Structure formats: C-alpha cells, structure tokens
C-alpha cells in the first residue's frame, strides 16, 4: 500500500494517468491562466512560478533567432496576478554587440504585474569566460595540511591608542609566520 492507504503505482502508471494540462493557454496576444496555475493561498490567484515561467518563455522566444543566449534572469513580482488573461510587453533596454538586456513585463490590462530582466550574451566561441571560474588544481586540498596561497597567520598583535580613544592602530608582528 502506498501513501494514505492508496495502492502503490509504478512511475510509468502514474505518468500515463497524469493529464498534461497547460498552465496558460494563448488567446490572441494574451495568455489565459488555467486552474493549473493557481496558487496555494487563493484559488483565484496565480502562484509566482507560473508568472515567472510565462515571462521566461517570452524572453527565450525573443532570443531564439538572435544568436544570443539567456545568461541571467531577474524577476520583480509587483502584485498578485489573478486567474485571467494576461499580456506581455517586451523592450530591448541595451543593444550591444556582445551583450544585450531585454525586459519582459507581465500586464493585466494597463497594470504591470511583474517584470523580467534578461541578460543575453553571444553564443558559441565568442561567449565570455566566467571571471569567477577557478582553474583546475589551483588550490591544494584541505587534507594536505598546508595553508592555501595568500594565507597569513597572525602570531603577535599590539594595539596602540592615541589621545582620542576612538582611534586605534593595530600593528602585527611576525605576519608571515607559518603554522609549524
């Protein structure tokens, strides 16, 4: 027996019985939210993941043929969205050779519900290198017992206070001593 006394099903059985219902259905230029998009707080309000998914879809659709790839998405959800038809408005904020910034706004009539800002960069060989990526094998593993490069161990510290007690200078002695 499975959860709550229900007969246990295999993964294939449960997938075959699960209806695939869209979260939004297109209605001309608008997208009508279905009951699948409803949130846990109210049956007539959308969950945030549904609204962000709709804005993400639009950003990806607009960049598909441009030769650029979506690298970062930032969402601002301004107010609750109801189970009704919503519109999308997009604008290219920055049009560069190697990077672009695209903004997609989720609209309920004239009211902005949320906003997605997408950073796009070129695809392929010209993609920028990640400045925060570490070279393989740059640091010794912690088991080696040696301090990582640039590590200093403080052995001796003296404080000097001047006439004004709020100003203190600290002097360090034997700053580059090893831990042995």
Average confidence (pLDDT) over 135-161: 55
Yes or no: is domain 22-123 CATH 3.55.50.30? no
The b-or-e profile of 41-64 (16+ CB within 10 A means b, else e) is eeeeebbeebbbebbbbbbeebbe
Give the contacts of 49 (CB within 8 A, at least 6 positions apart): none
pTM of the model: 0.60
DSSP state of 124: G
- Percent of the chain whose pLDDT exceeds 90: 38
Q: Give the SS3 label for residue 180.
A: coil
The two most distant CA atoms of the chain are separated, in Å, by 80
**How confident is the model over 23-77, as pLDDT tens digits?**
899 999 999 998 888 888 887 899 899 999 999 999 999 998 788 899 999 999 9
Instruction: List the domain boundaries for the chain.
Output: 22-123
């Amino acid at each position: 027996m499975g959860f709550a006394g229900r007969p246990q099903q295999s993964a294939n059985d449960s997938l075959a019985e699960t209806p695939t219902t869209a979260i939004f259905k297109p209605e001309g230029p608008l997208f009508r939210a279905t009951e699948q998009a409803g949130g846990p707080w109210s049956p007539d309000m959308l969950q945030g993941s549904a609204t962000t998914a709709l804005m993400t879809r639009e950003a990806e659709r607009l960049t598909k043929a441009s030769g650029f790839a979506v690298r970062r998405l930032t969402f601002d959800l301004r107010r609750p969205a109801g189970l009704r038809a919503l519109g999308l408005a997009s604008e290219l904020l920055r049009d560069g050779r190697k990077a672009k910034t695209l903004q997609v706004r989720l609209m309920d009539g004239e009211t902005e519900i949320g906003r997605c800002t997408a950073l796009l960069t070129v695809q392929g060989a010209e993609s920028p290198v990640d400045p925060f990526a570490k070279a393989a094998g740059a640091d010794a593993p912690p088991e080696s017992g040696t301090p990582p490069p640039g590590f200093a161990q403080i052995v001796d510290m003296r404080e000097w206070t001047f006439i004004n007690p709020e100003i203190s200078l600290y002097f360090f002695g034997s700053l580059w001593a090893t831990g042995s």
